[in-house]
Structures are given as C-alpha cells and as structure tokens.
Amino acid sequence: MIDGLTIALLVEGLASGANLLYVLLLIRERIACWAFGIIGSLLSVFLFLEARLYSESLLYVFYAGMAAWGWFRWHGRQAVADNPVIRWQFAQHLRAIIMTTLLALGLGYSLHFYSDAERPLFDAFTTVFSFLGTYLQINKVLESWLYWIVINLASVWLYLDSGLAVYAVLMVFYALLSVSGYLQWRRSQIH
C-alpha cells in the first residue's frame, strides 16, 4: 500500500522533472516548453497546498495559465517569424519592481492576517516577482533571467524551511539554468 508521503514524493519528483524540462526547453526557445510548464505547474499546486504555501499554490495555478498563454503566443509569433528576444529599459524595470513590491506587500500582509500561511511575506515576494518573471519570459525579455536568478536563490530557503527538499534542489538548478538562459538568449538577440 502506498502512503501519503510516498505519493507526495512521487508527485514532487514528477513535478520537478516536468518543470526542469520546461526550463531547459525555454532556454532553447522551444514551444514544447509550455506543455511541460502546464504539467509541472498543475502537479506543483497539490504539493504547495499540502505545505500550506498558499501564495506558491496560487503562483503555480498562474504558471499553468501563463504557460497556455505562452504556448499560443509563441506559436502565433513563430508562424509569422516575429518572436525575437528584446530588452527593457531601466525605467520599465524600475516601474515593474515598484509595482511588484507593493503587490507583494499587500499579498503578504493579507496572508499573514487572514490565513495560516507559513512565511507569508517571504512567500508573497517570491510569488509576485515570479508573476513578473513569467510575464517577461512570455514576452522574451532578456532580463527575465536575471529576475529568475534572484527568485530561485531566494526560493531555496523557502522550500527547505517548508520541508520540500526536492524543490529546494530544483531551485538551485533553476538558478544555474537561469544564468545559462540569460547567456543563450543574449546570443540569440545578437544574431
């Protein structure tokens, strides 16, 4: 008989594998990345609800929806050969960071006062900045990878603190892959 812990570890492993394939294919600018993003995200929702990381659960529901949008957007833009890597100006990043910080504070304090969430403020910051990072990647903004380096490294502690060791290790790999993604997309932008 399979117990709850075994199922959780199996789901965590499957979700991690799908999410890792998503990032590897994203770096290579392959549309198939979005299918793995949907699968990995939906599996992850279960895990984060069990760990009472409600912002993370919300984040992975968002990821699944954004992966569907990314899939359609990239497919449409690829059909007309118009899906280049772009850069944002400093002012665009500053506005995005200020707005994202305000949203994270609002979410974090709401979860602190109105739920039993673990690490509500820290969880809210990684979640809301992940919303921004995902939006930037769908739009192929080069600097999205820099956001992901920071988000992934911050998430290592959050996941270790929540007993999600496989996800913590996955975040270390994501941080390293984010460096690779930045370099690959930068080369892609030059050519």
Give residue limits of the domains in the chain: 4-190
Q: What global pTM score does this model have?
A: 0.81
**One digit per residue, pLDDT tens: the chain, 191 residues?**
567 667 778 888 899 899 989 999 999 989 999 999 999 999 999 888 887 777 778 888 988 999 999 998 888 776 666 778 899 999 999 999 999 999 999 999 998 888 887 788 988 999 899 999 999 998 899 999 999 999 999 999 988 988 888 888 889 999 999 999 999 999 987 66
Output the six-digit token pair for 52: 């009472």
Output the six-digit token pair for 5: 């812990």
